[in-house]
Amino acid sequence: MVICKYKGDKLLSSIKRLLLFCLCRWYRNGNRIIVHKKDGKVVECFNYFGLSVRLKGKNSIIEIYEPIKFQRRLLVNRSHIKVEGDNNYICIFSSCRSIHNIQAKAFGSNNKLIIGKNWYQNGFCFFDFGLLDNSNIVIGDNCMFGQDTKFMLGDYHSVLDLKTNKCLNIPRKGINIGNHVWIARDVRIMKNVTIPDDCIVGAGSNVTKEFSETNCIIAGNPARIVKNNITWDYKNTK
């Protein structure tokens, strides 16, 4: 990976990498925080303003694309990423809207969290991989999430068949959210869920299965399609 494109910045880049290696144990373990600047430069960082990152495993990568802004409250970071497993990958693409409060936890290994462009998030949003390995959460472009939305891939505990002792709650798929999806407040998205493009998930819903139809409203507990042939806009109706 090219860390810096311009010759004048090579010395500064080398000094930064030396400091990272000397001062940060997580960097010596092969973990990286990589920022893609607006001018095309790619730099490695100690951290990112407004975002607290804790990396305890090995060879995990956090990639951030600018422009992007993580909101703070009273000089304290509201957004946190905690990775304890190995070879995890988290990518947050650029957004013209502020990110208020994102929490992501991965205790397993080889997991991926990808958040597309122009993500609007108002309030607490939690991505939880639990203890799982090899799982994905993918959020498309131009999505909008309300307060207190949670994405739960792992159950942390096993549900077993009484006769065979076979585990019944192993995730078959990750979580996939399409482009231009509005998820209202207090929604829970569980494992094995797909929400297609141009959909709305109603407030307080508990989504537990895969959907295939675009342009619909999904709501309820458990969630189901309640209206078809819709779309939505960021603007509030007057």
Provide the CATH number for the domain around residue 187.
2.160.10.10
Domain presence at residue 67: yes
Report the pLDDT value the prediction gives residue 143, as an integer from 0 to 100: 96
Domain presence at residue 236: no
Domain presence at residue 181: yes
Report the pLDDT value the prediction gives residue 15, as an integer from 0 to 100: 66
127 residue type, one letter: F
Domain presence at residue 233: no
User: Which residue range(s) make up the domain with 60?
Assistant: 47-228
Q: How far is CA 57 from CA 43, 81, 104, 114, in A?
A: 21, 13, 15, 19
Report the pLDDT value the prediction gives residue 114, as an integer from 0 to 100: 97
Report the pLDDT value the prediction gives residue 212, as an integer from 0 to 100: 95
Report the pLDDT value the prediction gives residue 78, as an integer from 0 to 100: 83
Report the pLDDT value the prediction gives residue 13, as an integer from 0 to 100: 64
Domain presence at residue 41: no
Which two tokens mark 208? 């537990």
Report the pLDDT value the prediction gives residue 172, as an integer from 0 to 100: 80
Whole-angstrom Cα distance, residue 81 to residue 200?
Answer: 27
Q: Which is nearest to 134 in space by CA: 151, 154, 104, 116?
A: 154
Q: Which ranges of the chain have pLDDT less than 50?
A: 1-8
Q: Which residue has the tokens 């973990």?
A: 31
